[in-house]
A and B are shown apart, each in its own frame.
Chain A
Amino acid sequence: DSGVTQTPKHLITATGQRVTLRCSPRSGDLSVYWYQQSLDQGLQFLIHYYNGEERAKGNILERFSAQQFPDLHSELNLSSLELGDSALYFCASSVWGPNTEAFFGQGTRLTVV
């Protein structure tokens, strides 16, 4: 158990809908990272938050947004969902920035039908 908790584990939704994925980082970790992993693909960086502030953006679509709350948990919002958004979404956390160990949650498997 990495200490990073993601909910829900599975999500099935229809095209055009909006979903929210939640991540609770390890206790004491200030950074949260979101990644998308499509079938048989590597991990695509989406966004990084540090202590409530956005620090870096990767290949995140405009339909996607995220935030980190004062209690340091984070949410990834995906809207106007398309079939191609079906993927595993992972959250990772680290104590500081990406110069410290990052630990991953078990992911949320999103299926858009």
Chain B
Amino acid sequence: GESVGLHLPTLSVQEGDNSIINCAYSNSASDYFIWYKQESGKGPQFIIDIRSNMDKRQGQRVTVLLNKTVKHLSLQIAATQPGDSAVYFCAEARGGNQFYFGTGTSLTVIP
């Protein structure tokens, strides 16, 4: 069935390295994507979004890449810091009425 999924459930990186978190989606009609960060016990925090008419968008230390050909989304975090440790979710908007969330990738930054 249709799904928004993540390639890896966990990711560990050294402090200062770059992190890449991946997300696959299956609905080619999706036209809007958001990355969220969720720390333990807190609500998801908006990081960055991208629309389907773009293939790259940059924020502060984060970059989102969208490859519509293979229906793949990635989040790149530059110079990963301990405060980046969290679960990261990608969300996909389909049909204009709801967001669909992936299962999440747990990022652990090793000092």
Q: Which residue of A lies closest to B44 (CB)?
A: A104
Question: A99-B31, A106-B42, A107-B43 are contacts. A58–B98 as well, Cβ < 8 Å?
Answer: yes
Partner of B32, one of A56, A90, A98, A105: A98
Q: Which residues of B lie under 8 Å from residue A45 when comparing CB positions? A: 98-101
Q: Which residue of B lies closest to A47 (CB)?
A: B98
Q: Is the CB of B97 within 8 A of A48?
A: yes
Q: Which residues of A lie under 8 Å from residue B32 when comparing CB positions? A: 98-99
Q: Is the CB of B49 within 8 A of A101?
A: yes
CA distance in complex: A56, B46 (Å): 22
CA distance in complex: A99, B49 (Å): 10
In the complex, whether B89 has a CB less than 8 A from a CB of chain A is yes
Q: Is the CB of A42 within 8 A of B93?
A: no
Q: Which residue of B lies closest to A35 (CB)?
A: B101
Q: Which residue of B lies closest to A105 (CB)?
A: B43
Q: Is the CB of A106 within 8 A of B43?
A: yes
Q: Is the CB of B99 within 8 A of A102?
A: yes
CA distance in complex: A2, B37 (Å): 13
Chain A residues within 8 Å of chain B by Cβ, number: 24
Do most interface residues of chain A lie in helix, strand or loop, or is the interface mixed?
Answer: loop
Q: Which residues of A in the span 92-113 have a Cβ within 8 Å of any Cβ on B?
A: 92, 97-99, 101-107
Q: Is the CB of B43 within 8 A of A55?
A: no
CA distance in complex: A48, B93 (Å): 12
CA distance in complex: A4, B44 (Å): 12
Q: Is the CB of A43 within 8 A of B31?
A: no
For A2, A56, A98, the residue with the greatest tally of chain B CB atoms inside 10 Å of its CB is A98
Question: A42-B89, A42-B104, A101-B34 are contacts. A2–B98 as well, Cβ < 8 Å?
Answer: no
- A–B Cβ pairs within 8 angstroms, 16 of them: A2-B45, A33-B98, A42-B104, A45-B98, A45-B99, A48-B98, A55-B97, A58-B98, A90-B44, A97-B97, A99-B93, A102-B99, A103-B46, A104-B44, A104-B45, A105-B43
Interface residues of B, Cβ cutoff 8 Å to A = 31-32, 34, 36, 42-46, 49, 89, 91, 93, 95-104
The 3 closest A-B pairs by CB, nearest first: A56-B97, A104-B43, A98-B93
